Structure formats: C-alpha cells, structure tokens
Structure 1
C-alpha cells in the first residue's frame, strides 16, 4: 500500500486533502477493507470486544450505489480563469 504512480492532478489533490488544519469528520462506521489492508482488523476486533463495543464493527454505512453512480455521471468537470469547477447536467 502507498501512494505510487500518481498523476500531477492526483498529487495536488493529495496535498490539498492532507494539509494541516483540514477538518476530519468522525463516523461510527468501520471500513473493513481499510482495516484489513492496514493489518488492523484483528487488533481492532480485540479492542472493541474488550470494551464491549464489538457490535459497532457490524454497522454498515447505508448507501445507494446505483443512485450515487447515476448522480455522479451527471457531473462535468471544467475550468476557467477563476479555477476549476463542476457542472450538473
């Protein structure tokens, strides 16, 4: 895992998203794929079990994949002298 072979746009986005002072929103949902890829699944399961919060690992964020993809497909990326923008169609 790591950041490799990024385009210039991806590098700029990474720098923008990781700059100091950026607010991070908390959530009660756990991403099992991320835990597995970071090698944290078993330790987090043990910790949550010890403090009686094992049930939180079973929560899943409710999403509507098809509707989200349909919405995102209506967006068009553009730019002008004022900077980048996104347009809904």
Structure 2
C-alpha cells in the first residue's frame, strides 16, 4: 500500500486525516450496507466464521458514516491479484 499520484486536495485531506492526536472512536459494529455495496459481505462472513466471530456480524448499530468514509478513502489497492481462497 502507499500514497501515489495524489492531487493537492487529496494530500491535504490525507494530512488532516492522519494528524497526530486526532481522536476516532472505534466500534465493534459493522455497517451491512457498506459491506454489501463494496461486495465484501461474503468474504467478511467467511473470515469471521473462520476465527469464531460470526456473531459480531449480527450486532446492529449505526456506525459513524463520516469516519467510515474517511477510513475507506485512505485505502489503496494492496495486491495485483485476487486471493483465490
């Protein structure tokens, strides 16, 4: 992963999102809409099932949409090939 070919606006956003001391409240709840829209529901279910945490996917609570979007905007493609398993 890495930051490459960012616009000036993206660089400024990255600096703001990663500034030291910025507090983010974590949550144990997942957003089923986000998982579905990203196509991650099945892989996350499979992963959680393998580690015995399937029950966490049944907890429902509103997530912090703004923080979720901020986090997802920091992700970059980490692999060139999909994991076949």
State which structure, 1 or 2, has the greater radius of gyration over its C-alpha atoms.
1
| Structure in which a larger fraction of residues adopt strand | 1
| Structure in which a larger fraction of residues adopt helix | 2
TM-score tier after normalising by the smaller chain length = 0.3 to 0.5
In the superposition, the TM-score normalised over structure 1's length comes to 0.46
In the superposition, the TM-score normalised over structure 2's length comes to 0.48
Larger RCO of the pair (alpha carbons < 8 Å, separation 6+): 2
